[in-house]
Structure 1
Amino acid sequence: MLRHHGDVEARPGMLDFAVNVQGLAPPAWLRDRLAARLADLGRYPCADDEHAARAAVAARHGRAPEEVLLLAGAAEGFAMLPRLTPRLAAVIHPSFTEPELALREAGVPVTRVVLDPPYTLDPALVPDAADLVVLGNPTNPTSVLHPAQTLRALRRPGRLLVIDEAFADAVSGPGVSSSAGEPSLDPGEPESLAGLAVSDVLVLRSLTKTWALAGLRCGYALGAPAVLARLTRGRPHWPLGTLQLEAISATAEPSAVAEARQAAHRIAADRAAMVERLSALGIEVHTPATGPFLLLRVPDGALLRKRLADRGIAVRRADTFPGLGPNHLRVAVRGPADVDQLIDAVRTALW
């Protein structure tokens, strides 16, 4: 159950509300950038491309290049976590399940901290003995955005805080002010700690969702060089290909960051419209929601999923997330035309 993901729900040809990727393909300018590198695929990925990608990501977040680890998707970063050899890992749930799965499969003791609705995080719930704490922000599937101040309160001597910010670039807002003695945080990504250069915070980012790169596997981690070195111990040579490096460089450029922030505003408007329309059908929608997805609670989740699938619409079952049950569903935020079809199908299925 921990390895169930939304792509299993969405068969070819279905209207896809199960996967949180925005769009069917990368934007034309990004496809052109990648296509221009196809002639280079006869050569091994070069160090210059790797250095350029790290520098671009570092500049994008106000970090040093040595604080950047390029990844074949954020999921690769989760798979690396056991190399940190924690004595006890605490995973905040409901949330993305790959980190817990990777830790458990490596024999790392894991304790679950399961939050009840409205899924507000209280740092006191995390055992003091936990020397590794993993959580998402915004959290998949609840769409909850935890305040940066609450995340900082999780820090303890000897503890590493791992924050999954796979959807942070899809959150709109004015950002947050830095606290005394800490650098300014990204004003375009509220509550993100990606710009916080401290030894005990590791941030993982994905490029899959905003840039429709699920098939290319691109992401990165931001953290102290010593922590990144421990993560990469034993990693194979050439871990990322030329196209992955090119995509990471391209999407870290200022024009791309600006485009992502515009997309975040569009997502926020589409999300608000979806909340209103789903709520009008009597469906319980968890709010406030900040990510490009919504958590729903319906009377009979399995039956509704089947009826929607029969009509060619895929939604994500959410009972595979610890803390949620069979009547919870997750739906991606989509534009008005797709939502029209979802609403009509839900209305028919419910009545």
Structure 2
Amino acid sequence: MRTEHTTAAGDALRHHGDAEVRDDGAGLVDLAVNVRADTPPVWLREEIARSLSSLAAYPDGRAARAAVAARHGLPVERVLLTAGAAEAFVLLARSLEVRKPVVVHPQFTEPEAALRDAGHTVARVLLREADGFRLDPGAVPEDADLVVIGNPTNPTSVLHPAAAIASLARPGRILVVDEAFMDAVPGEREALAGRTDVPGLVVLRSLTKTWGLAGLRIGYVLAAPETIAELERAQPLWPVSTPALAAARACVAPRALAEAAHAAHRIAADRAHLVAGLAAFADRGVRVAGPAEGPFVLVRTAGAAAVRRRLRELGYAVRRGDTFPGLDDDWIRMAVRDKATVNGFLAGLDRALG
């Protein structure tokens, strides 16, 4: 592992999976975006549709906030609803007084981009493939007063032990854990959401991944009441729309939690099928980072950029890896899909590898 300091923001940090399927991506099988493909379910669409009769009134987030708090066993003062997890990163970057922020990479690039846009100089801790992209808490500088890490981490799909992440907590340090994909992990093992015993802990959750609501923008922050109050002051009025609030209430209800738990086990089975299929290409230079625990896998293969282009010609979109700090252009990320889709993709990969 190594630490590096960065200053100027690069366009690469703003590249996300949706860029692979925009514009000329019509008709492509989408393995580039980490949103569950069979969502939102009918019952959720109907719940959102019912909220449309209330659009004349300003959004009232109290019921949704209380529902999220109850889902995690927390008081409402520890919950802030946001327009997706991305808004939360901007609020953190703009409202918290920090001097030495550190982002643990490879991971989702929006936290660093938001910090840079807010004028911060960001230090990176780069996890290594040789270590399985696993966190070494000792690699994080002691003087860091803000640390950001994803769990499970996008794009590596590594699930770090909760104890290892919690050990990063220090007096005077904000510890931000992006758990956007935690509900895709069976049992949500290693989750820190709901914990109140870790000083400075800020947990971010997204409802857009598991429920297919990326276009609606809904997520939330769990943190100490004083941190929540500070972030809330930085929000504009009515930041979360009425349909998004309806979705939030629905997605933390018992029925939805049971469905998400079932989906997590199905994703794990589909991921095992994908990883086994990829292992068949090991003698052709394909290597899967792992063990993968999220709804996506990270793959290394020589000439990945050319492989990605050939896959696109064959009808499959995957995510380039070189825009993630710590990775180069030999990496690609692919979302887990159902077995039939995966089988078609593996046949395409066979041809793309040439």
TM-score normalised by the chain length of structure 1: 0.93
Question: Is the aligned partner of 1:77 residue 2:91?
Answer: no
Provide the rounded CA distance (Å) in 2 between the counterparts of 1:120 and 1:6: 23
Q: SS of the residue aligned with 1:150?
A: helix
Q: Provide the secondary structure at the position in 2 that maps to 1:79.
A: helix
Matched, 1:102 2:101: no
Which runs of 5 or more structure 1 residues have no equivalent in the other structure?
173-187
After TM superposition, give the deviation of residue 349 of structure 1 in Å: 1.2
Aligned pairs (5 A) from 1:319-338: 319-338=322-341
- CA displacement, residues 80-132 of structure 1 (integer Å, 9 cap, x when unaligned): 11210211101000000000011011111210000102111111111111000
1:238-278 deviations in Å (ceiling 9; x for gaps): 11110010000100111111110100000000000100001
- Pair 1:225 & 2:225 matched: yes
| Unaligned segments of structure 2, at least 5 residues | 1-11
Number of aligned residues: 333
Q: TM-score, normalising length from structure 2?
A: 0.92
- 1:160 matched to which residue of 2? 174
Residues 1:295 and 2:298 aligned together:
yes
Counterpart amino acid of 1:156? R
- Paired amino acid for 2:265: H
2:176 counterpart SS class? strand
Q: Paired residue for 1:259?
A: 259
Post-superposition shift, 1:232?
2.2
Matched residue type, 1:329 = I
Check the 8 A contact 1:89/1:133 in 2, yes or no: yes
Say if 1:234 and 1:120 are closer, same or farther in 2 by CA, change over 3 A. Answer: closer
Matching residue of 1:29: 43
- Does residue 216 of structure 1 match 2:219? no
- Aligned twin of 1:66: 77
- Which position in structure 1 is the counterpart of 2:8? none
Flag as ranges the 4+ runs of structure 1 deviating above 6 A. Answer: none
Aligned pair partner of 2:143 in 129, 145, 152: 129
Q: Which amino acid aligns with 1:235?
A: Q
Please give the alpha-carbon distance, in whole angstroms, between the structure 2 residues aligned to 1:201 and 1:85. 15
Aligned twin of 2:18:
7
Match of 1:284 in 2: 287
Could you list the per-position Cα deviations for residues 293-328 of structure 1 after superposition, in whole angstroms to 9, with x for gaps in the alignment? Answer: 000001111100110111111000011000001010
Name the counterpart of 1:182.
Answer: none
Contact 1:54 1:69 in 2 (8 A): yes
Q: Which amino acid aligns with 1:69?
A: L
Task: Determine the C-alpha separation between the residues in 1 that align with 2:352 and 2:127.
Answer: 30
Deviates more, 1:104-113 or 1:160-169: 104-113
SS at match of 1:63: coil
Aligned to 2:193: 194
Distance 1:192 1:66, change over 3 A: same
Q: Secondary structure at the match of 1:205?
A: strand
Aligned-partner residue type, residue 263 of structure 1 = A
Q: Which among 91, 95, 118 is matched to residue 103 of structure 2?
A: 91
User: 2:91–2:235: 8 Å Cα contact kept in structure 1?
Assistant: no
SS at 2:40's partner residue?
Answer: coil
Cα RMSD (Å): 1.0
Q: What SS class does the counterpart of residue 344 from structure 1 fall into?
A: helix
Q: How does 1:236-251 map onto structure 2 within 5 Å?
A: 236-251=236-251
For the residues of structure 1 that align with 2:289 and 2:47, how far apart are their CA atoms? 39
Q: State the alpha-carbon separation in 1 of the partners of residues 51 and 127 from structure 2.
A: 45
1:148 alignment counterpart: 162
- How far residue 24 of structure 1 moved from its aligned partner, in angstroms, is 4.8
Structure 2: how far apart are the matches of 1:131 and 1:166? 22
Q: Which residue of 1 aligns with 2:7?
A: none
Structure number with higher helix proportion? 2
